[in-house]
Amino acid sequence: MPETITIGKSELRKDAWKKVTGAARYVADIPLRDVYYGAIVRSSVHYGHLKSIDTQTAEQVAGVHKVVTAADVPGLPVFGALVHDQPVLAVDTIHHWGQPVAIVIADTKEIAAQAAQLVLVTVEPILPILDPVEAVELNASKLHADGNLLAQFEIKDGDVELGFAEADVILEETFSLPLVSPAYLETETSVAQWNSDGSLTVWVSSQHPFVDQAEIAAALDIPAEKVRVKSGVIGGAFGGKEDSSISIMASLAAWVVQGTVKLVNSRQESFWAHPKRHPAKIYLKLGAKNDGTFIALKAKAFVDTGAFASYGPAVGIILTETLAGSYHVPNIELDTLVVYTNGPLAGAMRGFGSPQSHFAIESMVDMVAHQLGLSAIEVRKKNILREGDQLFTGVIVNQSANSLPLALSHAENILREFEMIEAAPGKVAGSGMALVMQSMGLGAKVPDDSTHQMIWMPDGKVDLYLGAPDMGQGLIMTAEQIAAEALELPFESVSTVDLDTWNSPNGNVTCASRMTYMVGNALVDAAEQLKSQMLVQASRMMNRPLDTLSYKSGNVITSDGGKIPVSEIISRAADDGIEIQSKATFSFPYPDETTPQNLPIGMPHVLFCFGAQIARVEVDPELGKVDITHLTAIHDVGRVISRKGVEGQIEGGMAMGLGYALFENMNLKANGQWVDSFTEYLIPTFNDMPLNFRNIILEIPEESGPYGAKGIGEVTVPPTAPAIANAVYNAIGVRATALPLSPEDLAKL
């Protein structure tokens, strides 16, 4: 690969300096004067008719300014990313436990919390529907006006019955996936400030500040220009912060009291009322020939979106598109139902449907291999997608599929290595693997433009105005590296201005494993524009024809070998009142010629990330306790932009996958309430991570990506749990079909 300035290196994240000194301002940390505190009154039933809200007693408490209810919403009372079904504050019906009903606004958080207890909410409870299969039964009560089936995706390719008729072996199984929480450490927070000119300034911890802006404006019935949304430092998001609930509530409260209101969800509220990963039941039937070739796949998936749609339909799409994993199966019939229940709302979360589908298909692939007496590697080698293969959606897979055979040959060696290691006394060891295919982008026919801006400053440094927030994953560093490379400047010369919807272009939502790709492509384009604008100025000032000037590493080079620092040109231009700035938009490409047009909106996805993970476990056969001793991740990133950044994404993603495999489960407790604290909802700690952890990063350039790069954010999560489940099977011969793999179940099975 050619020598680079910064691409592929491990730069030091500039935001890290503030984060290690405590100076970074997350929304709850922003110092503001005269702040009121809000406390949200929430429902304590799963389902019911909201009869009345009595705010009188609470409003008489000294220090309480107002109790806001749905009646105070001047504009649109509902919001939602894909369907407007989520009330800002409950109206008539309670749809889930913990749904916001009212907001108490008081001088201190203590007073607000006390007064919230005094708001009298009368609800006539109704028997809730908490099972997605039950929810679509004919006689189930309708949770929303259009019924309980939110979306359905049926896809057929080939003739599945004919395929099964030709199969030598057919296996069927139903897999169950739990409700899990993104569990970012910073809970949802927003501060809204009413300004005397009738505008609002709203600080958010959000993946989609421009959506917040639009949804706040709609709820308050004011023009979007009156709402200025600023991004605080974000304490993790993983998809869960694509929901405007808290920012709309803070804005409403600020609007009503004409002041500044701070809303911070407690951990419990975060569990109750913010989007999580969809629980699902996935039935799979896979037919194969004796040599391991897959011949038919049938699937039916029930995906529980909970009380409101959020991103449910889009999650259903990716779940469906990844049900066959990284394999070519000629005959396919898939049916995915996305269903409303009275559960907590599920929406976007890292993997977006693909962790669910991969647990099913990657377990099934091992089951078939076992049945046929083939190795996990052999059966996968037979069936992996190859460059030029047509997916069941009609999409042709590009060169990215070349990473699959590569990943498999690494995996083969690693499995062999793992199998040589002896188990600790009293334990049984086993190794297992899984492949992964994760889509990038929002899907065809979904508008997906991302705009970003750069300004060349008179000192020769460059300011980036990114239109989409960094949720902690390192988008800013990646963007700065790409901009620096494109402008032939050192990494240190590029910095990023805080996102503010009044100053920043709209970069769209930070999501879908496509930020490096979208932002990078836009910045490469913007950098070219910036350079040519600067050269035009240079030509004017130096009175030399444009084609005699060129740009090299921060200098203008003249045809006779002269060299003038760019800072001179820019500062002289500034004196003349000319700003050297450029803005570029990148639109996710769905070329008409190659994108099948006969599918629902959001389908198909056309670019993919592939990878493999291998786990070695030691199981205590008596207690069913699983220790993960080794994990190896093999992921193709197209091209590494930031080495440590990529490694960090993989390590963090695997930890999340490990939690999904072993502990995480936001289930109903015996008392009828959801698990809602870190005491009961366990996320991996230091000690849960394997001591032996390895990253193998593949670089098969994505031709449409900036410097060949593509996404890594989500692809790291889906293979971990099935790799672990397959390893457990290979250790103790027990096939778990539900996550998390609880010791009780493994010992009992």
Partner 1 sequence: MKTLQVTFLLNGFEKTIVSAPNRTLLDVLRDDLNLTGAKDSCGGEGECGACTVIVDDKAINACMILIGQVQGCAVETIEGLAENGQLHPLQRAFVEAGAVQCGYCTPGAILAAKALLLENPHPSDVEIRDGLSGNLCRCTGYVKIVEAVRLAAAEMRHA
Q: Which distant-in-sequence residues (6+ apart) come within 8 Å of 405 by Cβ?
A: 381, 384
Strands 494-496 and 462-465: parallel
Nearest-approach distance from CB 472 to ligand FES, in angstroms:
5
315 binds, among ligand FES, partner 1, none (CB under 5 to 8 A by kind): none
Among 85, 131, 157, 186, binds partner 1 (CB under 8 A): 186
Nearer to ligand FES, 15 or 568 (CB): 15
Residue span binding partner 1 (CB under 8 A) among the ranges 261-269, 377-385, 404-412, 707-715: 261-269
Distance CA 743, CA 720 (A): 18
Nearest-approach distance from CB 686 to partner 1, in angstroms:
4
Among 474, 520, 718, 722, binds partner 1 (CB under 8 A): 474
Nearest-approach distance from CB 420 to partner 1, in angstroms:
22
**Residue matched to tokens 């692809």:** 715
Nearer to partner 1, 17 or 502 (CB): 17
Nearer to partner 1, 40 or 338 (CB): 40
**Residue 129: Cβ within 10 Å count:** 23
Distance CA 539, CA 550 (A): 10
**Residue 452: Cβ within 10 Å count:** 29
729 binds, among partner 1, ligand FES, none (CB under 5 to 8 A by kind): none
Nearest-approach distance from CB 187 to partner 1, in angstroms:
7
Q: Which distant-in-sequence residues (6+ apart) come within 8 Å of 604 by Cβ?
A: 321, 391, 393, 394, 395, 443, 444, 595, 596
Residue span binding partner 1 (CB under 8 A) among the ranges 58-66, 122-130, 307-315, 467-475: 467-475
**Residue 622: Cβ within 10 Å count:** 9
- Does 114 help bind partner 1 (rule: CB under 8 A)? no
600 binds, among ligand FES, partner 1, none (CB under 5 to 8 A by kind): none
Distance CA 179, CA 719 (A): 18
Nearer to partner 1, 10 or 581 (CB): 10
- List the x/- string, 353-382, binding to partner 1 by CB under 8 A: ------------------------------
Nearer to ligand FES, 439 or 649 (CB): 649
Distance CA 319, CA 169 (A): 25
29 binds, among ligand FES, partner 1, none (CB under 5 to 8 A by kind): partner 1
Nearer to ligand FES, 196 or 685 (CB): 685
Residue span binding partner 1 (CB under 8 A) among the ranges 420-428, 460-468, 472-480, 497-505: 472-480
Could you tell me if 94 and 43 are in contact, meaning their C-beta atoms sit under 8 angstroms apart?
yes
Nearest-approach distance from CB 677 to partner 1, in angstroms:
6
Instruction: Identify each DSSP E strand in 566-650 by its residue range.
Output: 580-587, 607-620, 625-636
Nearer to partner 1, 283 or 678 (CB): 678
Nearer to ligand FES, 11 or 333 (CB): 11
Distance CA 623, CA 749 (A): 11
399 binds, among partner 1, ligand FES, none (CB under 5 to 8 A by kind): none
3-state secondary structure of 293: coil
Cα-to-chain-centroid distance, residue 672: 29
- Does 673 help bind partner 1 (rule: CB under 8 A)? no
- List the x/- string, 229-258, binding to partner 1 by CB under 8 A: ----xxxx-x--------------------
Amino acid at 502: W
Give start and end residues of each alpha helix (H) in 462-603. 475-486, 515-542, 566-575
Distance CA 665, CA 657 (A): 13
- List the x/- string, 144-183, binding to partner 1 by CB under 8 A: --------------------------------------xx
Nearer to partner 1, 187 or 400 (CB): 187
Query: Over the Cα atoms of the chain, what is R_g?
Result: 27
23 binds, among partner 1, ligand FES, none (CB under 5 to 8 A by kind): partner 1
> Which residues, numbered 15-74, are part of the site for partner 1 (CB under 8 A)?
15-26, 28-29, 31
User: What is the 8-class DSSP label of residue 669?
Assistant: -
Could you tell me if 101 and 41 are in contact, meaning their C-beta atoms sit under 8 angstroms apart?
yes
Nearest-approach distance from CB 24 to ligand FES, in angstroms:
11
Distance CA 704, CA 440 (A): 12
Among 84, 144, 267, 445, binds partner 1 (CB under 8 A): 267
Beta bridge mates, 710: none
Q: How many residues bind partner 1 (CB under 8 A)?
A: 58
Among 36, 97, 164, 184, binds partner 1 (CB under 8 A): 184
Among 193, 207, 473, 481, binds partner 1 (CB under 8 A): 473
Nearest-approach distance from CB 678 to ligand FES, in angstroms:
7
> Which residues, numbered 645-664, are part of the site for partner 1 (CB under 8 A)?
645, 647-648, 650-656
Q: What is the DSSP string of 367-417?
A: HHHHHHT--HHHHHHHHB--TTPBPTTSPBP-GGGGHHHHHHHHHHHHHHH
655 binds, among ligand FES, partner 1, none (CB under 5 to 8 A by kind): partner 1
3-state secondary structure of 524: helix
Token reading at 5: 């300035």
Nearer to ligand FES, 236 or 259 (CB): 236
Nearer to ligand FES, 353 or 472 (CB): 472
One-letter-per-residue 3-state SS of 125-185: ECCCCCCHHHHCCCCCCCCCCCCCEEEEEEEEECCHHHHHHHCCEEEEEEEEECCECCCCC
Nearest to 506 by CA among 169, 231, 137, 217: 231
Nearest-approach distance from CB 188 to partner 1, in angstroms:
12
740 binds, among partner 1, ligand FES, none (CB under 5 to 8 A by kind): none
Q: Which distant-in-sequence residues (6+ apart) come within 8 Å of 708 by Cβ?
A: 638, 639, 699, 701, 702
Could you tell me if 19 and 234 are in contact, meaning their C-beta atoms sit under 8 angstroms apart?
no
Q: How many residues can be counted in the chain?
A: 749
Nearest-approach distance from CB 647 to partner 1, in angstroms:
7
Nearest to 352 by CA among 322, 375, 374: 322
Report the chain's terminal Cα–Cα distance, integer Å: 52
Residue span binding partner 1 (CB under 8 A) among the ranges 10-18, 334-342, 547-555, 707-715: 10-18
List residues near ligand FES by CB under 6 A: 185, 236, 472
Nearest-approach distance from CB 267 to ligand FES, in angstroms:
8
Nearest-approach distance from CB 277 to ligand FES, in angstroms:
18
User: Which residue has its beta carbon closest to ligand FES?
Assistant: 185
Residue span binding partner 1 (CB under 8 A) among the ranges 86-94, 377-385, 686-694, 734-742: 686-694
Nearer to partner 1, 20 or 145 (CB): 20
Helix, strand, coil share of the chain (percent; to 5):
30, 30, 40
- Does 686 help bind partner 1 (rule: CB under 8 A)? yes
Nearest-approach distance from CB 414 to partner 1, in angstroms:
17
Nearest to 310 by CA among 351, 337, 277: 277
Nearest-approach distance from CB 681 to ligand FES, in angstroms:
13
Cα torsion 383, 384, 388, 393: sign: positive
**Residue matched to tokens 């190896």:** 632
Nearer to ligand FES, 185 or 601 (CB): 185
Positions touching partner 1 (CB under 8 A) are: 10, 12-13, 15-26, 28-29, 31, 182-187, 233-236, 238, 266-268, 471-474, 644-645, 647-648, 650-656, 677-679, 683-687, 689, 691, 693
